[in-house]
Amino acid sequence: MAKSTGNIFNLQDLVERGVKPSSIRYLFLTAHYRSKLNFTFAALEASAEAVRRIRGARERLRAHPDARDPDPADEPALHPLVDGVLARFTDAMDGDLNTSVALAELHALVNAVNQRLEALGTRPISAAEKHAAMDAFDRIDRVFGFVELAGREAEVDSDLSAWVEERIAARQAARKAKDFATSDAIRAELAARGVVVEDTAQGPRWSLAG
């Protein structure tokens, strides 16, 4: 970047271009504070997708039904992983603020949560297991802050929310009728408004693109 070529951007420039602050914060965390950061708009797009995926996993876990006495066959699987993630996250941050390694641990938590919920399907998760994983998300984000920030960015007015829910219901009806052309058209319509739809065992979930 150089002033002579006109490719210097400050934070306000990026926000005015529609870049979410949560994406900028995530991108900064991908490099060690004493290393050079390779700034590109493609990297910002990848950061926005990473934030969306992390926040999506947390919200998916939050919304999943839980039980104090779940099916004994569903032995809790997240407790040991959560303990390891938090320990390695702490070690990385204590090791001269190695944020890229700490981020990798957060993604390990996301992968484990998604796999666990896929395995459970519609069955409830142990309340203690859910609490442990949610607490890990919250403890990590108290350091990084981009998940909470993305949540504030994603606040939408009631009219848009109602429209999205109506279009998703119409898409579900089209899928049930095997009218895949209409289903795909509705998905494209939602995407054009910046709405990302993810189909899960518990039904479709949506979020705003980063």
| 120-134: pLDDT as tens digits | 898 899 999 999 999
CA 17 to chain CA centroid, nearest Å: 22
pLDDT, greater one: 35 or 101: 101
pLDDT of residue 195: 82
CA–CA distance, 183 with 172 (Å, rounded to integer): 7
How far is C-alpha 175 from the chain's CA centre?
25
Query: At residue 99, does pLDDT exceed 90?
Result: yes
Under the banding of pLDDT at 50, 70 and 90, the label for residue 146 is very high
Q: Which residues contact 78 (CB under 8 A, 6 or more apart)?
A: 112, 113, 116, 129, 132, 133
Write the pLDDT tens digit of every residue in 21-33: 899 999 999 988 8
Check the CA dihedral 49-52-58-62 and report its sign. negative
Task: Quickly state the pLDDT bin for 3 (edges 50, 70, 90).
Answer: very low
Q: What is the pTM of this model?
A: 0.71
CA 114 to centroid of chain Cα atoms: 11
* pLDDT over 90 (residue 83): yes
Q: Is 206 in contact with 190 (CB distance < 8 Å)?
A: yes
Position 209 scores a pLDDT of: 64
For residue 66, pLDDT beyond 80:
yes
Percentage of the residues of the chain whose pLDDT score is greater than 90: 48
- The dotted CATH code for 12-153 is 1.10.730.10
Provide the pLDDT for residue 151.
81
CB atoms inside a 10 Å sphere around CB 15:
13
Q: How far apart are CA 30 and CA 13, in angstroms?
A: 21
Rounded alpha-carbon distances, angstroms, from residue 114 to 53, 56, 76, 96, 180: 10, 10, 14, 30, 26
| 210 pLDDT higher than 60 | no
Residues 94 and 106: their CA atoms lie apart, in Å, by 16
181 token code pair? 């052309």
Give 3's DSSP letter.
G
Q: State the average pLDDT over residues 161-171.
A: 89
DSSP 107: H
Question: Packing angle between helix 21-29 and helix 99-120, nearest 10 degrees?
Answer: 120
